[in-house]
Chain A
Amino acid sequence: SQQGEEDPQALSIQEGENATMNCSYKTSINNLQWYRQNSGRGLVHLILIRSNEREKHSGRLRVTLDTSKKSSSLLITASRAADTASYFCATDGGSRLTFGEGTQLTVNP
C-alpha cells in the first residue's frame, strides 16, 4: 500500500482562497516531500521538510509536519488559477521514496 495518502482526493476553490491538502503516512520518515503535477506533465518538486522540522515556508507555500500524528499538510495561500494541478506527498519511510495518489486542486477564476 502507499506510504503516503493525500486527503482530500479533489479540492475546488475560488481564486484568492487558501487551499489545504493533507498527507498521512504509516512508518517513520527522515523527510517528506511535496510535488506538483500539471495535467499531462511530469512532477515538479515543491518543498522538502525534514523529520526534525515542524514548519517550512516557500513563497505562498507552507508545509507542516507532525511526526507524532504521522501527518503533513500543504497550504497554498492566495491561490491563483495557475495553481490548478495535482499535488503529491512523497515519503522515505521504506527503502525508496513512495508517492501518494495525489490531491487534484482546481482553482476557479
Chain B
Amino acid sequence: DVKVTQSSRYLVKRTGEKVFLECVQDMDHENMFWYRQDPGLGLRLIYFSYDVKMKEKGDIPEGYSVSREKKERFSLILESASTNQTSMYLCASSLSVPTTDIQYFGAGTRLSVL
C-alpha cells in the first residue's frame, strides 16, 4: 500500500514564524501535491511537483513556497506565517500523470497560527 506521511498532525505557531510542513511518500511516485482545506472552500491546490526540483504553482501559492530535493520528500514552507494561514494542510502523491492518476493522501496537518 502507498503510504504518505505528514510529519505533524497538529501544529501551533506564532505570527511571523517560518513554518515547515514535511511530507514523505514511499511508492516512488513522480508527482506530489500540497492542498489546504477550509470549511466551505473545499480543497485548494497550493503547489505541486512533477519531478525532483520541479514545481508548479497551484491556485493559491501566495505566502507559500515548496522544496523537493529528493523524490520521496515534498516540503511546504510558510516564510512568515499569518493568521489567515490557519488551516488543514493535506499532502498527496500520484504515480505519473498529475491530471488523471489517483492521488494518495496523508493524514493532514492542522496548523494554527496565533
- CB <8 Å contact, A48 and B58: no
* B contact residues, total (Cβ < 8 Å): 23
Q: Which residues of A contact B102 (CB under 8 A)?
A: 33, 45, 48
Query: Is residue B61 within 8 Å, beta carbon to beta carbon, of the partner chain?
Result: no
Interface string of B75-109 (1 = CB under 8 A from A): 00000000000001010100000111011111110
Say whether A88 contacts B43, CB under 8 Å.
yes
- A88-B42, A88-B43, A101-B42 are known contacts. Are A96 and B107 too (CB-CB below 8 A)? no
- For the residues of A in contact with B, the DSSP-based class is loop
Query: Is there contact, CB below 8 Å, between A41 and B100?
Result: no
A101 contacts B41, CB within 8 Å?
A: yes
CB B36 to nearest CB in A, in angstroms, measures: 12
Bound-complex Cα distance A19 to B75 (A):
38
Q: Which residues of B contact A90 (CB under 8 A)?
A: 103
CB under 8 Å from chain B, chain A span 16-69: 30-31, 33, 35, 40-45, 48
Collect the chain A residues with CB atoms within 8 Å of residue B55's CB.
none
Among residues of B, the one whose C-beta sits closest to the C-beta of A45 is B102
Q: Which listed residue, B4, B88, B99, B106, touches A95 by the CB 8 Å rule?
A: B99
A5 to B107: give the CA distance in the assembly, Å: 23
| Residues from 35 to 70 in B contacting A, C-beta threshold 8 Å | 35, 40-43, 45, 48, 58
Given that A95-B99, A97-B98, A97-B99 are contacting pairs, would A43 and B41 also be in contact in the complex, using a CB cutoff of 8 Å?
no
Contacting residues, chain A, for B104 (C-beta < 8 A): 45
- Report the nearest B residue to A30, measured CB to CB: B100
Collect the chain B residues with CB atoms within 8 Å of residue A14's CB: none
A58-109 residues at the B interface, CB under 8 angstroms: 88, 90, 92, 94-102
Task: Please give, as numbers and ranges, the residues of chain B lying within 8 Å of A41 by CB-CB distance.
Answer: 107-108
Q: Which residues of A contact B41 (CB under 8 A)?
A: 101
Closest chain B residue to A102, Cβ basis: B42
